[in-house]
Amino acid sequence: MLFRSQLSDGSTVSAGSITGRSWILDGTDTLGSGPTVNLTIADTGKHLIRLEVFSDIGCRDAISDTLIIHSPPVASFSFNPQYGNPPLNVSFTDLSVGGATYAWSFGDGGTDSISGPSHTYIDTGLFTIRQFVTGPYGCIDSAKKQIYVIRPVLDIAI
């Protein structure tokens, strides 16, 4: 997972002008020296961002803040049976990680909002099932699978 953002400096000086900046990540990585910098972080957790600003008359000031990057949820599910004839009652098992709330779309107009629902397919067809998982910090992931609901063809020979 990559976190990407653009940081912007809103610093001002009462006399003179800003002549330099230094953006620092986690005390060691210099991100850049412009009024805006692009930030890319591959690790979850806490990261310290520091901005140092320099003026043309020798003044210097700095500000630091902590950026917390949380793991996003990962949507995943299974269902049983995998196919059948209508009316087909299907049970869904939530296999997601990090979910706080759930939304399901069963492809035939039916929906649900619990982690492990069941749904009955009345009509035949190929239906796309979608699971939307929202983590505790608002990040969303989704997964989709298909189910084929058909009437069996009987071939009887005498």
For the chain, 158 residues long, give each residue's pLDDT as a single digit of tens.
688 899 999 999 988 899 999 999 998 888 999 999 999 998 889 999 999 999 999 999 999 999 999 999 999 999 999 999 999 999 999 999 999 999 999 999 999 999 999 999 999 999 999 999 999 999 999 999 999 999 877 667 77
Q: List, in order, residues 6 or more apart from 50 with CB less than 8 Å away.
A: 22, 23, 24, 25, 27, 62, 63, 64
pLDDT value at residue 15: 86
- Phi and psi, residue 28, nearest 5°: -130, -35
User: 0.75 exceeded by the pTM?
Assistant: no
